[in-house]
Structure 1
Amino acid sequence: MLKLVVVDRNSYTNFVENHPLRNFFQYPSWSDLKAEWKWSSEFLGWMNSDGTMVGGTNVLYRKVPGLNKFLAYIPRGPLIDWFSTEYTLKDWFHVLFHHLKQRNVFSVKIDPPLIKKKWSSDGITNGMLQFQTHGLKNKKITDLPPNQVYREVEFIQQELNEMGWRQKIADDSFDTVQPSYIYRLDMANKGLDQIFASFHPIWQKKINQAEWEGVEVSVGSLQDIHEFHALLAQEAKQEQKESRDIVYFQKMVEKLSKEDPTRIKIYYARQNNQLVSAALATRVNGQVWDLYSAQLRKTDHAASYLLRWKMIQDAHANGDQTFDFRGVSISLDEKNHHFELLKFKVGFAGDVCELIGEWDYPVIPMLHWAFDMYMKKR
């Protein structure tokens, strides 16, 4: 039988460090960052009959104005044994629901880091050529046969549905809190020469071109976040989209680097002393995420290719097995404003991964549905 308890920061961090699904959202430092924007949090641990912690999660809480009720969000979690033969999903979640009710939570959202399907870069590229050859429009990656399907994750989806969880059905990857389709490069048991050779030939040429043209990539001081943000804000203005203010990035650097000095890095690519591309990366043991990036002009600058190659080289040198390019659109329509981003990432010979998605559970059904209706009418 499982028991759910509040655990201290150190015990929770030690558990996360050793969990195979660990990710930066589930570390305490992410809670520290969100606390700056009115989210409270706590660290929970599932204990077995021997008192051993066998599951854990970082839960974020947001109070509803005017009510003593809370929304709960578990980003890229919880970190449990989803495929356990000893415990069912009901065993894991019923104790969680009981705890959340005591915390006056009426609705909880999760988006577990479980991969449901994968499409290879070659498969996507070949599929796009076939669609173009036959004049087929409005196609998506999901119209292509995946290279891998994880039936055990489909079973998890089925179990969540039967428990009363409801998946948010989104038209595209960026319609959920976290992207539901991501692009990952698997580096496990591969040398750098092998990784580079797998890139699309044009991507290899772009990287070499940037070096030949004198582009220099360096890791900047975390105190120079203003330079990164200025480029990000400039790009946002050019593309007529919103960007987070500099305070958010200052707090991110402060909170994440305090927990681990290697948790966050800023990469700069300069040509003739001018900043032309930049990226902010975050890391936990075994995996790196390309979290935010920007470039000087809305053009296909070779510097951005070299910058990613430098990030991949550093990740490989640190023994990391996965380089995560984060979200991609599934639209293969060249007019879609996310298409160029997908095209850029696909050349790095990774996989588009469909995650299990975003799920909501009505801890207090009447309040959950009332709030849901209110949000839909806004």
Structure 2
Amino acid sequence: MQNGGGQVSFLQCPSWAEVKEGWKPEYLGWFDGAGNQEGAALVLYRQMPGVRRYFAYIPEGPVLDWAAPGIGVRLDLLLDHLRNTGAFAVRMGPPLTYRKWSASTLKNAVAPGRRLGDVLPDAVDPLGAAVADRLREAGWRRCGEDGQGVGDAQPRHLFEVPLDGRTLEDVWSGMNQEWRRNIKRATRSDVQTVIGDDSCLSDFYALLQQTEQRDGFRLGRSLEYFQRQHQALNAEEPGRMRLYLARHDGGVLAAHTLITLGRRAWYLTGASADTGREVRPSNALQWRMIRDAHARGVATYDMRGVPDTLDPEDRAFGLMRWKLGTGGRVAETLGEWEVPLQGAVNRTLHRAMQAYLTRR
């Protein structure tokens, strides 16, 4: 199902509700007078501690024709329904792209203190800009903008490798010399890339813990979370989620997860060992995943979030630099938007929930 401007996200599939413990799901639909479905949404409700009121979250949704003239009416119907369920605020992430920058444009723009917003984009989507204006006029506020909200839960800036209309030779030649050299090094070193089953998730999780400690971040996910994710997504569609492993000398050096839905594939979580990095297992895995996605007819290989820094002295720029080497592009989404539902009590609860989300 298309989304009035893009591919439907796996975060709007019923299986995702099974992954998100602690959230109560509800599946909504919009229908015309003849009973034809015009939209859908997976809404996740988080109860505010101590009260019977809920924070409503629609990740990378709802699934609507955002170009339709009646979009305002559809959103009003959504808010009326959420208000009646006891929600005091709602957050959503319209799955629309606003601006795009090619890898070559960004490589030429790297400079101390520079950020993405300082660089003229290669493309601007007028629909994204129009929807942003409509949302502001209707009282929605972008998370983290002008002090509103606590920032996006999903990445605002995505890194995409376009595959549609390109051969694998095109994709290969679009990579920089460092990427091609590292993939060749992994091949010469006999790094083996395989698809693992759910029994291999413990290997993946052990590497993820090493990665978190080495790189100074924490996802806060348990092994059970990834087991539940793997089971739920593949029960909905076999092969929806795959676990890729890079093996070398009898050990697992890297493990990445890939989710495929329709013509889009998402590289969701990556992990690697502290040792064996000189044989470039992560580059080998990415090339295997890109090849498999291409074989499945995927149009866009989504490497998920990148920081908005172009400052080479900024530690976060390392991730941007690594992904730029694939020759893809950065796509700025519309981001996530929130609106408190009417009433002073609801606004108070909304502020309390923002503080709670910040602590989490």
- TM-score, L = length of structure 1: 0.88
Q: Secondary structure at the match of 1:81?
A: coil
What CA distance in whole angstroms lies between the structure 2 residues aligned with 1:344 and 1:372? 38
2:139 paired residue number: 164
What CA distance in whole angstroms lies between the structure 2 residues aligned with 1:269 and 1:170? 40
**Structure 1 residue 146: Cα displacement:** 0.5
Q: Secondary structure at the match of 1:112?
A: coil
Change (3 A) 1:17 1:159: closer
Choose the corresponding residue for 1:221, options 164, 177, 197: 197
State the one-letter code of the partner of 1:63. Answer: Q
Structure 2: which 5+ residue stretches go unaligned? none
1:266 paired residue number: 243
Is the CA contact 1:222–1:265 (under 8 Å) kept in the aligned structure 2? no
Change (3 A) 1:145 1:214: same
1:88 paired residue number: 70
**Structure 1 residue 367: Cα displacement:** 3.1
Q: Secondary structure at the match of 1:139?
A: coil
Is the CA contact 2:5–2:96 (under 8 Å) kept in the aligned structure 1? no
1:359 aligns with 2:337: yes
Once the two structures are superposed, the pairs formed by residues 1-378 of structure 1 within 5 Å of their partners are 20-34=6-20, 37-84=21-68, 87-128=69-110, 131=111, 137-169=112-144, 175-243=151-219, 244-297=221-274, 302-375=280-353
Change (3 A) 1:170 1:159: closer
Report the more deviating stretch, 231-240 or 276-285: 231-240
Is the CA contact 2:58–2:93 (under 8 Å) kept in the aligned structure 1? yes
Runs of 4+ displaced beyond 4 Å: 15-20, 298-301, 375-378
Change (3 A) 1:167 1:261: same
Q: Secondary structure at the match of 1:45?
A: strand
Q: Secondary structure at the match of 1:330?
A: coil
Is the CA contact 1:16–1:26 (under 8 Å) kept in the aligned structure 2? no
Quote the sequence identity (%): 30
After superposition, the C-alpha distances for 1:195-227 in whole angstroms (9 at most, x for unaligned) are 111111221111111101111111111221101
Is the CA contact 2:3–2:64 (under 8 Å) kept in the aligned structure 1? no
Structure 1: which 5+ residue stretches go unaligned? 1-14, 132-136
After superposition, the C-alpha distances for 1:165-221 in whole angstroms (9 at most, x for unaligned) are 1111369xx942001001011111111111111111221111111101111111111
Change (3 A) 1:79 1:169: same
**Structure 1 residue 372: Cα displacement:** 3.7
**Structure 1 residue 17: Cα displacement:** 10
Change (3 A) 1:182 1:238: same
Is the CA contact 2:7–2:262 (under 8 Å) kept in the aligned structure 1? no
Count matched residues. 351
After superposition, the C-alpha distances for 1:67-125 in whole angstroms (9 at most, x for unaligned) are 111110000000000001xx322211111111111111110000111000001000011
Change (3 A) 1:17 1:317: farther
Change (3 A) 1:19 1:354: closer
Is the CA contact 2:163–2:294 (under 8 Å) kept in the aligned structure 1? yes
After superposition, the C-alpha distances for 1:130-160 in whole angstroms (9 at most, x for unaligned) are x3xxxxx221122111100112211110000
**Structure 1 residue 335: Cα displacement:** 3.8
After superposition, the C-alpha distances for 1:1-42 in whole angstroms (9 at most, x for unaligned) are xxxxxxxxxxxxxx67999531110000001111xx221111
Is the CA contact 1:200–1:349 (under 8 Å) kept in the aligned structure 2? yes
What CA distance in whole angstroms lies between the structure 2 residues aligned with 1:17 and 1:374? 33
State the one-letter code of the partner of 1:152. Answer: L
Q: Secondary structure at the match of 1:62?
A: strand
- TM-score, L = length of structure 2: 0.92
